[in-house]
Amino acid sequence: MLFIATAPAIYDCPSLVGPTVIKRTQIEFYCDVNTNLTDPTVRFNVSFLFDYESDADVPVQILSPDNLRATLHERYLAGRLDKWVREWISTNYTHYDSKSFQRISA
């Protein structure tokens, strides 16, 4: 069994990047978690919120030190025009409140 004494450290606010257009056919948002941890057991749970509400249709992504970017694919944006999107980062110990928001617009 693994025990961690303190919450994993994020040295800067998580950043919401996007929208990013891919091959002129897809739109994605990204959440970048900024940490310098190399402990392979550390995990960050990333949820994307719409107007501050979670959605069961949008899966929580679990990030590790070797992959610190979560992707919000356009298939989860349907029906969310004019809503604010933001990320919510949590661990088993705490959550990190991001200051980045984006409005989904046409």
* pLDDT recorded at residue 100: 60
pLDDT above 60 (res 106):
no
Cα gap 5→25, rounded to integer Å:
45
Hey, what domains does the chain have and what are their CATH numbers? 12-103 (2.60.40)
* pLDDT recorded at residue 98: 57
Give the chain's mean pLDDT.
80
pLDDT class of 4 with cuts at 50, 70, 90: very low
pLDDT above 90 (res 57):
yes
| DSSP calls for 33-100 | EE-----TT--EEEEEEETTB--TTS--EEEBTTB-EEEEEGGGTTT-TT-EEEEEEE-SS-EEE---
* Site of tokens 């091959």: 23
> Which pLDDT tens digit goes with each residue over 67-98?
999 999 999 988 888 888 888 888 765 555 55
* pLDDT recorded at residue 71: 95
Cα gap 63→79, rounded to integer Å:
27
pLDDT above 80 (res 25):
yes
